[in-house]
């Protein structure tokens, strides 16, 4: 039987190599942490349902990408159809934090004419002793870009749910307010199987989607 | 099984960790793990069943058969037959080296390997990425549990590919190929084997790894054409579900099915890949979809992903021998239709 969901949101996870993109996604979608994780070659995707309000389920299709620079020629094709994104850096790796700006530029230049709602994620927060990026400076950077900031750990399952659910809620609000519109030929947001009782009040209009940032 | 594990450990020139380096307890290659290591050297969580007398007998028979000097087979149809039957584990390294002409590459480049290793130590810009990836390649394999082992020094000189073929340098995905070669060859042989795979005409894998991945695109485009022509119903279904070749076939082509088929089958495919070259990639990609066509036609996008990326890496539903037969049939079919290889690339490679 098909599980009923209101919308499907397509998210993309980006950031430097070895910041923990695949591990974070697997923790969220499979509930486990793999000590062994091979480098992602190209792209891959995972799915999970999230209940944001009682009876309101969103299906997340989460796209995992290779972090190495060379793979950008492959991964950049996947920005266009994403409504949301997690931009990861590793709190124990200053370089990955400095590269956040590059990733954002890369995403923005390939998502036109659409835009992506990003969440900045400081990953591996269980490794406090090796921290090279303070929470304050990361929050400041996120603020400058108008994003939320959250610190997560896939190993200890800290804030993993929160990261994905908060981002999903933000996108849901933008869809509800009409700032993000469903569009033919765009995979970012798709309308799902909706039982009449749950979704009669919300009208989804098809048409041109506006940028909101 | 125990015996095999010991053999593998005995023949692998493990350098071991050096000095006072601290390691996690699970990294310690303690004796007790022998019981959980299979004949390929992979660690399992539980103790493995002892192989039956029949299995041993069958294996020994194949080995005896292979004791005729490998060189005798080289180029002869006997060798081809042998490769399609699967090269016995104990002889795989030698057979691969022979087919890749590793000895000649070594002779032509005498002393170069040691020199490159030294240079790589001094200059590698890719070392950081390589070190990052070493820590997570085949970590369930006994050889790669110790991060200061053989693999590191090997990978460091992978940087020098940058000098052999000026554009390749290190690319994610190559580390697993290197690891596979190292399971069956010593460090220097593995290096030259990889060098041959990247640069010789039959394999020319460098095109898969240079920036822009020109060869990958060529093979994926060709794969789409093959399935459009030969299994059009399935191609339509994949299109409808938006399952593109870019998603499922990247590792098939870049790594010749490492991690995407059960390990025993991966080895059989590598035997044939090394013998036949890139046409194996085209034929096997078609074969996977063809043999599972009926199942795939009923699947949604998520199910397709799960099946092609994870499930068939665990179990392929058919025996390795059956799949190899299908593969051979596919190779013949594609050749007849002149679809066995994509049209040549128009770039400089």
Does domain A7-191 sit in CATH 3.40.50.300? yes
Six-digit token pair at B299? 């699947």
Give the best residue of A41, A77, A184, A187 to mutate against chain B (max B CB count within 10 A). A41
Same domain as B113, residue B16: no
Whether B1 shows a pLDDT value over 50: the answer reads no
Whether B208 shows a pLDDT value over 70: the answer reads yes
d(CA A38, CA B175): 10
| Cβ-Cβ contacts under 8 Å, A12 against chain B | none
Alpha-carbon torsion angle B161, B164, B166, B168, nearest 10: -30
Whether B321 shows a pLDDT value over 60: the answer reads yes
A88 vs B108, higher pLDDT = A88
d(CA B148, CA A184): 53
Return the percentage of chain B with pLDDT > 90, whole number: 46
pLDDT at A203: 43
Same domain as B234, residue B194: no
Q: Which secondary structure element, helix H or strand E, spans residue A42, and what is its range?
A: none
Give the mean model confidence (pLDDT) for residues B46-71.
57
Same domain as B316, residue B213: yes
Same domain as B224, residue B196: no
Residue B91 lies in a domain: no
Please, which residues have CB within 8 angstroms of residue B118's CB and are 6 or more apart in sequence?
none
Same domain as B183, residue B225: no
* Shortest alpha-carbon distance between residue A40 and chain B (Å): 8
Q: Grade residue B14 by pLDDT with cuts at 50, 70 and 90.
A: very low
Residue B88 lies in a domain: no
Query: Poorest-confidence range of A64-73, A190-199, B256-265, B334-343?
Result: A190-199
Same domain as B321, residue B227: yes
Write b or e for each residue in B41-68: b if 16 or more Cβ atoms lie within 10 A of its Cβ, otherwise e: bebeeeebeebeeeeeeebeebeeebee
Nearest-Cα residue of chain B relative to residue A74: B212
Same domain as B191, residue B124: yes
**Taking Cα atoms as reference points, which of A97, A117, A112 lies closest to residue A170?**
A117
Whether B13 shows a pLDDT value over 50: the answer reads no
Q: Grade residue B28 by pLDDT with cuts at 50, 70 and 90.
A: low
d(CA B134, CA A121): 25
pLDDT at B76: 61
Q: Please identify every stretch of chain A with a pLDDT value under 50, giving residue numbers as ranges.
A: 1, 196-213
Q: Grade residue B11 by pLDDT with cuts at 50, 70 and 90.
A: very low
Is A81 in CB contact (< 8 Å) with chain B? Answer: no
User: Residue B140 and residue A18: Cβ atoms within 8 Å?
Assistant: no
Residue B95 lies in a domain: no
Residues of A (21-50) whose Cβ lies below 8 Å from B: 35-45, 47
Peptide bond into A36 cis (omega under 30): no
Same domain as B331, residue B282: yes
Give the best residue of B23, B24, B128, B173 to mutate against chain A (max A CB count within 10 A). B173
The CATH number linked to B155 is 1.10.8.270
Same domain as B242, residue B306: yes
Contact B35, B47 (CB under 8 A): yes
Among B23-37, B59-73, B83-97, B297-311, the range of highest mean pLDDT: B297-311
Q: Which of B137, B254, B302 sits opposite A38 (nearest CB)?
A: B137
Alpha carbon of A43 to those of A46, A68, B258: distances in Å?
11, 12, 16
Predicted ipTM of the assembly: 0.85
pLDDT at B44: 72
Q: What is the pTM of this model?
A: 0.82
- Among residues B24, B46, B67, which one ends one of the domains? B67
pLDDT at B23: 60
Into how many domains does chain B fold? 3
Please, which residues have CB within 8 angstroms of residue B176's CB and are 6 or more apart in sequence?
A38, B137, B138, B255, B258, B259
- Among residues B181, B200, B219, which one ends one of the domains? B200
* Shortest alpha-carbon distance between residue B175 and chain A (Å): 9
- In this structure, the strands spanning A117-123 and A148-151 are parallel
Same domain as B295, residue B221: yes
Residue B94 lies in a domain: no
- Among residues B178, B200, B222, which one ends one of the domains? B200
Range(s) of the domain holding residue B38: 2-67
Q: Grade residue B4 by pLDDT with cuts at 50, 70 and 90.
A: very low
Give the mean model confidence (pLDDT) for residues B61-82.
60
Residue B27 lies in a domain: yes
pLDDT at A56: 92
pLDDT at B39: 75
d(CA B186, CA B198): 18
Listed by start position, the domains of chain A span: 7-191
pLDDT at A199: 44
Query: Poorest-confidence range of A84-98, B23-37, B271-285?
Result: B23-37
Residue B150 lies in a domain: yes
3-state class of A63 per DSSP?
strand
Quick one: DSSP state of residue B289? H
d(CA B134, CA B152): 7
* Shortest alpha-carbon distance between residue A13 and chain B (Å): 15
């Amino acid at each position: 039987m098909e599980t009923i969901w209101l919308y499907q949101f397509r998210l993309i996870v980006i950031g430097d190599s070895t910041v923990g993109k695949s591990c974070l996604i697997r923790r969220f979608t499979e509930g486990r942490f793999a000590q062994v994780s091979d480098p992602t070659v190209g792209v891959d995707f995972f799915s999970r349902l999230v209940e944001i309000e009682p009876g309101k389920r969103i299906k997340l299709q989460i796209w995992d990408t290779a972090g190495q620079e060379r793979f950008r020629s492959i991964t950049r094709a996947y920005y266009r159809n994403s409504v949301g994104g997690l931009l990861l850096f590793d709190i124990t790796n200053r370089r990955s934090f400095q590269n956040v700006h590059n990733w954002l530029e890369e995403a923005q230049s390939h998502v036109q004419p659409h835009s992506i709602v990003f969440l900045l994620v400081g990953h591996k927060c269980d490794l406090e002793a090796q921290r090279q990026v303070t929470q304050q400076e990361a929050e400041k950077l996120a603020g400058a870009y108008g994003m939320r900031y959250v610190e997560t750990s896939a190993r200890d399952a800290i804030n993993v749910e929160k990261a994905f659910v908060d981002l999903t809620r933000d996108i849901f609000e933008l869809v509800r307010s009409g700032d993000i519109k469903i569009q033919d030929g765009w995979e970012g947001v798709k309308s799902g199987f909706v039982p009449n009782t749950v979704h009669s009040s919300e009208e989804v209009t098809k048409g041109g989607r506006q940028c909101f940032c | 099984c125990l015996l095999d594990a010991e053999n593998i450990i005995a023949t692998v020139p493990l350098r071991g960790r050096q000095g006072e380096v601290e390691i996690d307890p699970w990294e310690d290659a303690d004796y007790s793990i022998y019981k959980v290591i299979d004949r390929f050297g992979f660690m399992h969580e539980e103790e493995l069943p002892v192989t039956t007398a029949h299995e041993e007998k069958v294996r020994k028979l194949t080995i005896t058969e292979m004791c005729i000097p490998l060189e005798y087979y080289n180029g002869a149809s006997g060798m081809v037959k042998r490769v399609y039957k699967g090269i016995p584990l104990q002889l795989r390294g030698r057979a691969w080296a022979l087919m890749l002409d590793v000895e000649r590459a070594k002779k032509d480049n005498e002393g170069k390997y040691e020199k490159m290793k030294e240079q790589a130590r001094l200059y590698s810009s890719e070392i950081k990425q390589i070190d990052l990836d070493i820590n997570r390649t085949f970590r369930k394999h006994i050889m790669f549990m110790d991060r200061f082992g053989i693999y590191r020094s090997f990978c460091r000189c992978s940087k020098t590919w940058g000098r052999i073929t000026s554009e390749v340098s290190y690319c994610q995905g190559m580390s697993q190929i290197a690891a596979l070669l190292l399971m069956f060859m010593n460090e220097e042989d593995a290096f030259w084997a990889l060098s041959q795979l990247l640069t010789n005409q039959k394999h020319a894998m460098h095109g898969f790894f240079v920036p822009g991945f020109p060869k990958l695109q060529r093979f994926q485009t060709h794969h789409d054409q093959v399935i459009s022509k030969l299994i059009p119903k399935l191609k339509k279904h994949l299109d409808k579900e938006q399952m593109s070749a870019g998603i499922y076939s990247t590792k098939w082509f870049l790594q010749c099915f490492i991690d995407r088929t059960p390990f025993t089958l991966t080895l059989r495919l590598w035997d044939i890949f090394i013998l036949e070259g890139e046409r194996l990639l085209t034929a096997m990609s078609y074969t996977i979809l063809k043999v599972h066509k009926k199942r795939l036609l009923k699947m949604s996008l998520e199910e397709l992903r799960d099946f092609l990326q994870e499930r068939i890496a665990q179990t392929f539903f058919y025996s390795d021998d059956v799949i190899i037969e299908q593969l051979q049939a596919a190779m013949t079919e594609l050749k007849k239709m002149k679809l066995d290889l994509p049209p040549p690339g128009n770039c400089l490679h």
